[in-house]
């Protein structure tokens, strides 16, 4: 009676199962999981609960009814109805290909956003447009877009590395230690290489790795493990790694136990190169340290930066009151950094020179000491 009422019901070894769900599931590929059917009904493992006959029969009737009205079983029945003029396997593959096509379009959308430097939050509007055009996909949030962008970047990067290995290209490793906003130590790894498709050496970003320890040995192990994960074996590095470049920190270029010294133990033929920009800034710092006026001017610029960087009130006074009256556009006053890039000092000095009248008018009313400094001949000469 039950099998006549439910054509899909079947019994094997004293256990119940769904003939239709089992057939469609096994004809589809293993990755076809968009229809979530109970494994017990697929594998004929449904058994009753209870200690007596009446309870066990009631339990089976309840399970049969719940499966009969379930959404998953309904989808299976719809697939079987649509398969009258087509085989079930072809129907399943069509459904799978449709999902793949929708996913490809989402990947292309994310790639376009990244290529045009658009925020990944724009993915929601782009997917909404695709859905109106008939393409439906669940990958419609900026979180999934972030994972897709990371996946695309990783695949492109690995493809480039694979081509480099096939061409047996010579490479140079460039690293630097930096701190994140959360004060964590990280290692930035770049790679410069020569490939046949490019007339000049190409600079590639490899990875950003968090450093648990800032010792030279740990940095070397992190660097080599990262290169190995990218496909560069130790044999390839011994034959093609020709140079190593970093700043002049003791951890990097120390003679006894620096990163460069330890790399020379693995690759004796590589050339160790100190960053020229870093050396230029250090030479400039050494030169101007003997000129007192320049040091005073540097402290003066840092003082101005602290006044306007840390106080919105002072910024508004400078922009709305003084600068507006004098019809001068304020250039953002930066900070004169230490051993960084020389351009930082130039930008800060240029900003102060551009806003010289505005700063003097403002300091005359709020800070007479700084206004007096601006009138000194030595400051005017330096500017």
Q: What pLDDT was estimated at residue 309?
A: 63
Mean pLDDT, range 326-350, rounded to an integer: 53
pLDDT for 190 equals 92
Q: What is the mean pLDDT of residues 98-112?
A: 78
Q: Hey, which of 105-119, 157-171, 312-326, 332-346 has the most confident mean pLDDT?
A: 157-171
DSSP state of 46: B
Residues 129-166: tens digit of each pLDDT: 777 666 655 666 778 888 888 888 888 888 888 888 88
The verdict on pTM exceeding 0.75 is no
CA angle (221 as vertex; 215, 226 as ends), nearest 5? 125
Highest mean pLDDT among 54-58, 295-299, 302-306, 374-378: 54-58
Helix (H, G, I), strand (E, B) or coil at 343: helix
Domain ranges of the chain: 2-82, 95-154, 168-274, 284-382
Cα distance between residue 239 and residue 169, in whole Å: 10
Find all residues with CB under 8 Å of 229, minimum gap 6, and list them. none
Q: Evaluate whether 277 touches 341 at the Cβ level (below 8 Å).
A: yes
146-170 burial, b if ≥16 CB within 10 A, otherwise e? eebbeeeeeeeeeebbeebbeeebb
Rounded Cα gap, residues 25 and 20, in angstroms: 8
- The first and second tokens of residue 76, run together, are 């299976």
Fold category of 168-274 in CATH? Nucleotidyltransferase; domain 5 (3.30.420)
Rounded Cα gap, residues 10 and 206, in angstroms: 57
For residues 285 and 338, is the Cβ–Cβ distance under 8 A?
A: yes
pLDDT digits (tens, 9 = 90+) for 2-11: 777 777 888 8
């Amino acid at each position: 009676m039950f099998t006549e009422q439910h054509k899909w019901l079947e019994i094997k070894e004293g256990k119940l199962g769904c003939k239709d769900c089992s057939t469609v599931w096994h004809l589809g590929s293993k990755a076809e999981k968009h229809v979530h059917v109970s494994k017990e009904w697929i594998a004929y493992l449904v058994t009753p609960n209870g200690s007596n006959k009446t309870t066990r029969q009631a339990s089976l009737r309840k399970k049969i009814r719940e499966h009969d009205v379930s959404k998953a079983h309904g989808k299976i029945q719809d697939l079987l109805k649509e398969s009258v003029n087509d085989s079930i396997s072809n129907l399943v593959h069509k459904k799978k290909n449709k999902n793949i096509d929708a996913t490809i379009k989402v990947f292309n959308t994310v790639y376009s956003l990244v290529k045009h430097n658009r925020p990944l939050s724009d993915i929601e509007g782009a997917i909404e447009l695709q859905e109106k055009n008939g393409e439906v996909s669940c990958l419609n949030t900026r979180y999934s877009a972030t994972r897709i962008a990371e996946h695309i970047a990783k695949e492109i990067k690995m493809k480039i590395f694979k081509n480099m290995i096939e061409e047996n290209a010579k490479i140079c490793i460039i690293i630097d230690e930096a701190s994140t906003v959360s004060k964590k130590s990280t290692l930035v790894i770049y790679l410069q290489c020569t490939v046949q498709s490019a007339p000049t050496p190409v600079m590639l970003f490899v990875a950003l790795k968090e450093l648990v320890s800032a010792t030279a040995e740990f940095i070397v192990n992190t660097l080599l493990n990262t290169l190995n994960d990218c496909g560069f074996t130790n044999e390839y590095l011994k034959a093609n790694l020709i140079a190593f470049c970093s700043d002049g920190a003791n951890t990097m270029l120390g003679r006894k136990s620096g990163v460069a010294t330890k790399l020379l133990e693995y690759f004796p033929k590589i050339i160790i190169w100190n960053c020229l920009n870093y050396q230029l800034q250090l030479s400039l710092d050494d030169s101007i340290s003997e000129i007192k006026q320049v040091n005073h001017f540097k402290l003066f610029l840092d003082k101005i930066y602290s006044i306007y960087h840390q106080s919105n009130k002072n910024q508004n006074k400078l922009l709305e009151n003084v600068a507006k009256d004098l019809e001068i556009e304020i250039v953002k006053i930066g900070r004169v950094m230490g051993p960084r890039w020389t351009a930082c000092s130039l930008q800060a000095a240029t900003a102060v020179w551009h806003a010289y009248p505005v700063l003097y008018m403002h300091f005359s009313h709020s800070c007479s000491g700084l206004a007096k400094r601006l009138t000194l001949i030595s400051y005017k000469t330096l500017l």
